[in-house]
Amino acid sequence: MIRCISCGEEYEDNEIIYTCKKCDSILEVECNVEGIPRDTFESRRQNIWKYKEFLPVNPENRISLDEGGTPFCKCEKIGKELGVDLYVKVEGSNPTGSFKDRGMSVGTTKAVDLGVNMVGCASTGNTSASLSAYAARAGLKCAVLLPAGKVALGKLAQAMFHGAKVFGVDGNFDDALKTITQLALDGELYLLNSINPFRLEGQKTIGMEIVDDLGWQSPDRIILPVGNAGNISAIWKGITEFRNAGYIKDVPMMTGIQAVNSAPIANAVKKGEETVVPVENPDTIATAIRIGAPVSAVKAMNAIKESNGTADTVTDEEILDAQKYLARTEGIGVEPASAASIAGLRKLVANGEIDKGERIVCVVTGHVLKDPNVAIDACEEPTQVSSDPKAIREVIRTM
Ligand code: F0G
């Protein structure tokens, strides 16, 4: 059953619908999972389909690249420095290098269930990279709209290489999303942006896996970057479904981090306002979250409120600094948007919003190789030497 999150109007699972016909609000898939003992999941393979009873598509038709089951790394050094018990969920280890694969696996499976032949999305990069790969695997035609000149190189390469028709749109992500949504409403394609509630069903497995990774316990807090706000909403849905199933009692404080000039949700939370006012010309070096009008804003605000969480902003400088810090202290390479979670953690510890000893999971959403230009620009050029070991010895002895 699909349900409107505002007026509660219900729609059949096989209706192709993205917003409520009565009130225009966004939709969610209602998952009625009851009476499944926790040990059902034991000894299953570590991927999103481990929790298939919670995924509202036909698992027999699954389009999967073995997504999910990502590394869950305890970060002793950063944790000690900040006085918290820190874990990092490394979503860059998914098949196309970001968390989007979880959603696209379920989303393209739904597309196959529905019998459509063309899928599409607008994207700041990762969604298109992922959809292009899953569409190839499913044998679906695929069109993606990208804000021209504002997509990191690795993501662009992936979208093109897996065979999607790639359009560079004059405008930002919010403009591209409006355009592709219109094409979907005209019946040209099946939309797999996160306004499609089936995609978020795949992404909710991040929350489920975190609970599983911690031995069926909730962390005190989950921190993650927020752009279009689908992921924070999805993770919260996964967590609450596990709570409703009786697997956990406590829930984490959902903590969303945005880049300072692309921060409509954090702005609303900080001002204590209920409504999210779009940002006109969003900008940040973290192009993945360069978004001014998040589609899932209402769901995200609910998640933050219900979980007693918060949202905050970080500057581009803080993002780049955190990206390097994580890479060089813990060996975890992430793209700039992902580092917003670590930058946010540092900020919230510094201003006393995070208590000492909290058990925290930072979700790092995409791989460092997604944006090679930012990584290279942050480093010294390689030192040019002859092949004579002497020249190298001189340098390494000063290290
Ligand atoms: N981190 C990365 C690496 C992303 O690619 C995105 C979103 C986010 C965080 C934010 O997640 O939108 O669910 O709040 N990328 C989308 C895309 C918009 O098109 O790839 P969100």
**Residue range 33-55: average pLDDT?**
95
Residue type, 77: K
**Residue range 38-48: average pLDDT?**
96
Cα–Cα separations (whole angstroms), residue 183 to 118, 121, 140: 11, 10, 17
pLDDT at 32 (0 to 100): 81
Q: Which of 110, 100, 131 is nearest to 61 (CA)?
A: 110
Hey, which of 94, 98, 257 would you mutate to test ligand 1's pocket, going by the most ligand atoms within 8 Å of its Cβ?
98
Percentage of the chain beyond pLDDT 70 is 100
With beta carbons less than 8 A apart as the criterion, state whether 204 and 28 touch: no
With beta carbons less than 8 A apart as the criterion, state whether 195 and 296 touch: yes
Residues forming a β-bridge with 167: 145
Cα–Cα separations (whole angstroms), residue 171 to 126, 146, 149, 253: 18, 9, 10, 35
With beta carbons less than 8 A apart as the criterion, state whether 207 and 68 touch: no
* Residue owning tokens 């030192």: 383
Measuring from atom 15 of ligand 1, which residue has the nearest CA?
Answer: 288
pLDDT at 36 (0 to 100): 94
Q: Which two tokens stand for residue 86?
A: 């820190």
CA distance 187 to 17: 11
Percentage of the chain beyond pLDDT 90 is 98
Q: Which of 248, 238, 252, 247 is nearest to 40 (CA)?
A: 247
Residue type, 167: F
Per-residue pLDDT reduced to its tens digit, 118-152: 999 999 999 999 999 999 999 999 999 999 999 99
CA of 162 relative to ligand 1 center, distance in Å: 20
pLDDT at 84 (0 to 100): 98
Alpha helix positions (H), the chain? 76-82, 100-114, 126-138, 153-161, 173-185, 197-203, 205-213, 230-244, 264-271, 297-306, 316-329, 336-350, 372-377, 389-396
CA of 288 relative to ligand 1 center, distance in Å: 5
Q: Which two tokens stand for residue 144?
A: 């993606």
Per-residue pLDDT reduced to its tens digit, 160-176: 999 999 999 999 999 99
Hey, which of 231, 301, 370 would you mutate to test ligand 1's pocket, going by the most ligand atoms within 8 Å of its Cβ?
231
pLDDT at 33 (0 to 100): 83
**CB-based pocket (< 6 A), ligand 1:** 98, 100, 123-127, 194, 225-231, 288-289, 335, 337-338, 365-366
With beta carbons less than 8 A apart as the criterion, state whether 87 and 75 touch: yes
With beta carbons less than 8 A apart as the criterion, state whether 172 and 282 touch: yes
Cα–Cα separations (whole angstroms), residue 231 to 211, 242, 356: 16, 17, 26
Residue 255 has pLDDT above 90, yes or no: yes
Query: Quick one: pLDDT band at residue 363, thresholds 50, 70, 90?
Result: very high
Per-residue pLDDT reduced to its tens digit, 89-127: 999 999 999 999 999 999 999 999 999 999 999 999 999
Residue 230 has pLDDT above 90, yes or no: yes
Per-residue pLDDT reduced to its tens digit, 287-318: 999 999 999 999 999 999 999 999 999 999 99
Residue 154 has pLDDT above 90, yes or no: yes
**How is the chain split among helix, strand and coil, in percent rounded to 5?**
45, 15, 40
Output the CA torsion sign for 153, 325, 96, 311.
Answer: negative
Measuring from atom 7 of ligand 1, which residue has the nearest CA?
Answer: 288
Those residues with Cβ within 8 angstroms of residue 148's Cβ, 6 or more apart along the chain or in another chain: 168, 169, 170, 171
pLDDT at 303 (0 to 100): 98
Cα–Cα separations (whole angstroms), residue 278 to 200, 260, 263, 304: 22, 13, 9, 18
C-alpha 107: how far from chain center: 14
Domains and CATH numbers, the chain: 1-30 (no CATH), 72-97+199-377 (3.40.50.1100), 98-196 (3.40.50.1100)
CA of 131 relative to ligand 1 center, distance in Å: 13
CA distance 38 to 41: 6
Residue 22 has pLDDT above 90, yes or no: yes
Hey, which of 131, 228, 236 would you mutate to test ligand 1's pocket, going by the most ligand atoms within 8 Å of its Cβ?
228
Output the CA torsion sign for 236, 238, 241, 243.
Answer: negative
What is the chain's mean pLDDT, rounded? 97
Query: In this structure, are strands 10-11 and 2-4 parallel, antiparallel, or unpaired?
Result: antiparallel
CA of 127 relative to ligand 1 center, distance in Å: 7
Taking residue 60's Cβ as centre, other Cβ atoms within 10 Å add up to: 7
pLDDT at 388 (0 to 100): 92
pLDDT at 34 (0 to 100): 84
Taking residue 231's Cβ as centre, other Cβ atoms within 10 Å add up to: 28
